Amino acid sequence: MVSSVTISAELTYARIRGLMGYFSEASIRYGVPLSLLLAIASRESRMGLALSTDGTGDHGNGIGIMQIDKRHHPDFTTSHNPLDHQSNIAYGAQYLASVIEEFNGNTRRAVAAYNGGPSKVRSAVWAGLSPDSVTTGGNYAADVLGRRDLISQLMGLSKAVSWSAYLLPVCAVAFLSYNYINPQKL
């Protein structure tokens, strides 16, 4: 599993490069969780840090931050510059949304399909295998979902802790502080 220091550095790089707005925009437009989109970009290209100077990776087969595979998405990859980060992130989010829908919201299978392809993932599942068995490294979905959780924590997006959990203690401290500073005279 990748460390929080590594993920933090990648997020900082994405902020410095002005990419976070593209991720947020694509997340909202396609209904894909921001942390999941960022996690895929982290695994695929380290948020762009692992790309060649021409914007490619995977021996020239992956295009841009989201590593859109030119062998499987030729319409997009032949018509877009690998350094057009906004289009690349939007296309990756659109594709991710489509596989999430195709797998009826099963995020693990959808993430594995982003990497290994929907038909390979379906075949693996039907054969009783893990969706990850057909992915790069045999751990793509598990790794991406771990990155997603880490990114959620680092960015304060965690579902485990909602703002309402902080509301009562903050209100209590505010009330007690106000009464201590401004005591009521009887």
Measured CA distances, 159 to 42, 103, 141, 149, 155 (Å): 20, 22, 19, 9, 11
Distance (Å, whole) CA 183 – CA 186 = 9
Residues, the chain: 186
In the chain, which stretches have pLDDT less than 70?
157-186
pLDDT in tens, 122-144: 999 999 999 999 999 999 999 99
Q: What strand order describes the sheet that includes 62-63?
A: 56-57, 62-63, 68-69
For 103, residues 6+ apart whose C-beta sits below 8 A from its C-beta are: 109, 110, 113, 118, 121
pTM tops 0.85 = no
Query: How far does Cα 145 stand from its chain's mean position?
Result: 8
The confidence score (pLDDT) of residue 5 equals 93
The confidence score (pLDDT) of residue 158 equals 52
The confidence score (pLDDT) of residue 160 equals 46
The confidence score (pLDDT) of residue 165 equals 45
Structure token digits, residue 95: 């594709």
Within 13 Å, how many C-alpha atoms sit on residue 99's CB side?
Answer: 22
The confidence score (pLDDT) of residue 58 equals 79
Q: Check: CB of residue 27 under 8 Å from CB of residue 33.
A: yes
Extents of the domains making up the chain? 4-160
Q: Any idea which architecture 4-160 has in CATH?
A: Orthogonal Bundle (1.10)
Query: How far does Cα 20 stand from its chain's mean position?
Result: 11
Which amino acids are annotated catalytic?
A: 44
The confidence score (pLDDT) of residue 176 equals 52
